[in-house]
Chain A
Amino acid sequence: MEILILLGMPLFGGALLALTGHRRFAPELNSAMSLATLIASAVLTARVVRDGPITVLNDQFFIDPFNVFLVTLTAFVGFTTAMFSRPYMHNEAAHGKLSTARLRLYHSMYQMFTFTMLLALTTNNMGILWVAMEAATLTTVLLVSLYRTPESLEAAWKYFILCGVGIAQALFGTILLYFAAEKVLGEGGNALLWTHLNEIKGTLEPTVLSLSFIFMLVGYGTKAGLVPLHNWLPDAHAEGPTPISAVLSGLLLNVALYAVVRAKVLVDGALHTPFAGQLMMGFGLLSVVMAAFFLSRQKDIKRMFAYSSIEHMGLITFAFGMGGPVATFAALLHMTMHSLTKSAIFFVVGHAAQKSGTQVMDSIRGLIKTNPTIGWGLALGTLAILGMPPFGVFASEFLILTTAMHEHTWATPFLLVALGVAFASIFGKVQPMVFGETTGKRLPHPPAMIPVFVHLALVLMLGLYIPPYLVTWYHQAAAMLG
Chain B
Amino acid sequence: MAVIEHLPIAQQLLNLFAALLLLIAFAMLSQRRILSLINLFALQGFILTLSIADSAWLTHQNHLYYSAALTLLIKVIILPWLLHRLIRQLNIEWDVETLINIPTTMLIGIVLVVFAFNLALPISELSGTILRHTLGIATASVLLSFMMMITRRKAVPQVIGFLAMENGLFFAATSATYGMPMVVELGIALDVLVGMFIFGIFFFQIRETFDSLEIRHMEKLKED
Question: Which A-B residue pairs are the 3 nearest by beta carbons?
Answer: A127-B184, A131-B187, A154-B218
B182 contacts A by Cβ under 8 Å:
yes
Q: A88–B51 Cα gap in the complex (Å)?
A: 53
Across the interface, do B202 and A156 meet the contact criterion of CB distance under 8 Å?
yes
| Given A154-B218, A155-B221, A168-B166; A135-B205 close (CB under 8 Å) | no
| Given A172-B172, A179-B123, A189-B183; A131-B205 close (CB under 8 Å) | no
| Given A175-B173, A208-B126, A211-B123; A128-B220 close (CB under 8 Å) | no
Interface size on B, as a range, is 35 or more
Across the interface, do A164 and B224 meet the contact criterion of CB distance under 8 Å?
no
B103 contacts A by Cβ under 8 Å:
no
A153 contacts B by Cβ under 8 Å:
yes
CB distance from B17 to the nearest CB of A (A): 19
Q: A141–B190 Cα gap in the complex (Å)?
A: 16
- By beta carbon, the residue of chain A nearest B162 is A164
Q: Encode B194-205 as 1/0 by CB contact (under 8 A) with A.
A: 110011011001
Q: Encode A170-184 as 1/0 by CB contact (under 8 A) with B.
A: 011011101100110
| Given A179-B176, A192-B184; A145-B205 close (CB under 8 Å) | yes
Q: A203–B220 Cα gap in the complex (Å)?
A: 50
| Contact residues of B between 107 and 156, Cβ < 8 Å to A | 122-123, 126-128, 142, 146, 149, 155
Across the interface, do B146 and A165 meet the contact criterion of CB distance under 8 Å?
yes
| Given A161-B149, A165-B146; A188-B205 close (CB under 8 Å) | no
A92 contacts B by Cβ under 8 Å:
no
Q: 13 other contacts beyond A135-B194, A153-B210, with CB at 8 A cut-off? A: A128-B184, A130-B188, A131-B188, A141-B202, A145-B205, A157-B206, A157-B215, A172-B169, A175-B177, A175-B180, A187-B178, A208-B123, A208-B126
Q: A175–B176 Cα gap in the complex (Å)?
A: 8
Q: A446–B110 Cα gap in the complex (Å)?
A: 62
B209 contacts A by Cβ under 8 Å:
yes
CB distance from A300 to the nearest CB of B (A): 10
Q: Pick the contact of A175 from B162, B169, B182, B223 — CB < 8 Å?
A: B169
Q: A172–B127 Cα gap in the complex (Å)?
A: 15
Across the interface, do A182 and B162 meet the contact criterion of CB distance under 8 Å?
no
CB distance from B84 to the nearest CB of A (A): 22
Across the interface, do B206 and A161 meet the contact criterion of CB distance under 8 Å?
no
| Contact residues of A between 345 and 385, Cβ < 8 Å to B | none
Q: A188–B185 Cα gap in the complex (Å)?
A: 12
A191 contacts B by Cβ under 8 Å:
yes
B83 contacts A by Cβ under 8 Å:
no
Q: A179–B180 Cα gap in the complex (Å)?
A: 9
List 14 A-B residue pairs with CB atoms under 8 Å apart, sorted by A's residue number: A125-B183, A131-B184, A134-B188, A135-B191, A138-B198, A148-B205, A151-B220, A151-B221, A157-B206, A157-B218, A168-B169, A175-B180, A192-B184, A208-B126
Across the interface, do A158 and B221 meet the contact criterion of CB distance under 8 Å?
yes
B181 contacts A by Cβ under 8 Å:
yes
Across the interface, do A171 and B169 meet the contact criterion of CB distance under 8 Å?
yes
A332 contacts B by Cβ under 8 Å:
no
CB distance from A190 to the nearest CB of B (A): 8
B158 contacts A by Cβ under 8 Å:
yes
B52 contacts A by Cβ under 8 Å:
no
CB distance from B169 to the nearest CB of A (A): 5
User: Cβ of A157: which chain B residues have Cβ within 8 Å of it?
Assistant: 155, 202, 206, 215, 218
Q: Pick the contact of B190 from A131, A158, A165 — CB < 8 Å?
A: A131
- By beta carbon, the residue of chain B nearest A131 is B187
| Given A125-B183, A192-B181, A297-B223; A142-B198 close (CB under 8 Å) | yes
Across the interface, do B224 and A297 meet the contact criterion of CB distance under 8 Å?
yes
